């Protein structure tokens, strides 16, 4: 995610809805149109993403109180904590949210993050320092319970296995598993069997 896509709320939400449709109904599912497309935002799988996007929207407009309101709603209603200042590319998919903490420096487009994942600093970092937070590339899949901590990079197309603890950078297209995580596959596959 070297080139950060400029944040546009409506466009990002449309991409998030398309990703959810693709993940839940298959690549060839007919896309929703009109009102039914936007009514899908009421899904418990999508509301946390909507709150996340609104929190970031208000954060970028220096309306911190409103940003924190949506972020706090996510925490209490869906069990997910997402840093309001973390830019996340379009196409985010969160199949389940409970126990998830997202405090990455930034996350690329089309990321899939399962439940119980932690993306953040190795130590307490209220200053949100770039050297202590992970950068997640485009098209990354992070399995249930995985921990990605520290100032590292997870390359585009990489996959992090369930319960892996990633403390070193993961190259693009690789599969990282274990505690501590190690690379077991250099070229990614198009399945989520290990997640």
Domain boundaries, the chain: 9-183
At 31-59, the pLDDT tens digits run 556 666 666 667 778 899 999 999 999 99
Residue-wise pLDDT for 47-93, tens only, equals 999 999 999 999 999 999 999 999 999 999 999 999 999 999 999 99
Domain 9-183 CATH assignment equals 3.40.50.720: no
What count of other Cβ atoms lies within 10 Å of the Cβ of residue 129?
11
Q: 21 pLDDT band (50/70/90 cuts)?
A: confident
Mention every residue, 6+ apart, whose C-beta is less than 8 A from residue 73.
51
pTM for this prediction? 0.86
């Amino acid at each position: 995610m070297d080139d950060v896509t400029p944040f546009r709320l409506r466009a990002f939400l449309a991409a998030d809805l398309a990703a959810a449709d693709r993940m839940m109904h298959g690549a060839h599912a007919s896309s929703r149109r009109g009102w039914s497309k936007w009514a899908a935002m009421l899904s418990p799988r999508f509301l946390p993403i909507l709150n996340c996007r609104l929190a970031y929207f208000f954060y970028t407009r220096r309306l911190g109180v409103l940003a924190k309101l949506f972020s706090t709603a996510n925490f209490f209603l869906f069990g997910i904590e997402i840093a309001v200042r973390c830019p996340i590319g379009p196409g985010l998919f969160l199949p389940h949210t409970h126990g998830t903490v997202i405090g990455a420096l930034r996350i690329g487009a089309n990321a899939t993050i399962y439940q119980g994942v932690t993306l953040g600093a190795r130590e307490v970092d209220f200053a949100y320092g770039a050297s202590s937070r992970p950068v997640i590339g485009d098209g990354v899949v992070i399995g249930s319970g995985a921990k990605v901590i520290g100032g590292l990079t997870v390359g585009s197309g990489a996959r992090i296995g369930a319960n892996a603890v990633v403390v070193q950078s993961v190259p693009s297209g690789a599969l990282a598993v274990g505690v501590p995580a190690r690379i077991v596959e250099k070229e990614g596959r198009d399945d989520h069997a290990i997640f």
